[in-house]
Amino acid sequence: VSGEVVAKPMKMRVGVDLVRVQEIERSLAQFGDRFLRRLFTEGEVAYATAAPGRTAERLAARFAAKEAVKKALGAAADGAPWRHIEVRRGPSGIPEIVLHGPAREAASAAGISEFSISLSHDGDYAIAMVAAACQGDER
Amino acid sequence: MKDKIRAILKEHGRLNKDVKDIGDKDDLLAAGLTSHANVNVMLALENEFEIEFPDSMLKRESFESIAAICASIEKVRDGQA
């Protein structure tokens, strides 16, 4: 039939990562600004440092999010700089993923246009889980 | 250079075995190097060797073994990175 669109099968991809908050505190103490600059965007640092007592747990959750996105993207995202995977807070305060540069290209090549992310922390640990709907069969 | 790398792995790598028992080509991920410990190792290497790894070298293969780390440091020093 002319004009018929055959939908490719949708697949889900997930990624999860767990980070010890104390280890992030240690990195901050040892490497300071260089640790922040290499891993996080200005917006992420601004959000994390806005609450002095919660900086490490916010950074830990964000680092976990970046790693979870890399896991969901698979081998294509190996080598994507952490700063290119950004956690932003949407208008209602819900975190969302914004990709830049090679990470964006890797997602696009995998047929992923959107991620859904959830962050949590309790005491010593922060965790992030991402889900992505992916159109295509490449992994 | 390998002794210095081993000392950094011991301090920052949080590995599941003694660095003395890790061969030059052994897989560091298999030895328990997590993604976050890998960041600390990378930053400590930069301090020790007074280099900065460019974004293009932030791949797993750059830090997958002691031999790979040596090669990565040489590459940055030679300006090939």
How near does any CA of chain B get to the CA of A80, in Å?
Answer: 7
Q: Sorting pLDDT into bands at 50, 70 and 90, what band is B58?
A: confident
Exposure b/e, A38-62, CB count within 10 A at least 16 = b? bbbbeebbebbeeeeeebbbbbbbb
Of A20, A26, A78, the CB nearest to B59: A78
Question: Between chains, do B36 and A34 touch, taking CB under 8 Å as contact?
Answer: no
Residue A44 forms contact with B (CB below 8 Å): no
Residue whose tokens read 């410990």: B37
∠ at Cα B59 (A98, A66), nearest 5°?
30
Give the per-residue pLDDT at A74: 84
Q: Which of A35, A38, A67 minimises the CB distance to B35?
A: A67
pLDDT for res B53:
93
pLDDT over 80 (residue B40): yes
Token look-up 């070298």 returns B57
Contacts for B67 with CB less than 8 Å, ≥ 6 apart: B24, B25
From first to last of its 139 residues, chain A has per-residue pLDDT tens of: 567 766 667 788 999 999 999 999 999 999 999 999 999 999 999 999 999 899 999 999 999 999 999 999 887 777 788 999 999 998 888 999 999 988 888 888 888 888 999 999 999 999 999 999 888 655 4
List of chain A residues whose C-beta atoms are within 8 Å of the C-beta of residue B56? 79
Mean pLDDT value across residues B10-34: 92
B contacts of A82 (beta carbons < 8 Å): 58
For B49, the 3-state DSSP assignment is: helix
Task: Residue B59: list chain A partners with CB under 8 A.
Answer: 78-79
Predicted local confidence at residue B81, as pLDDT: 63
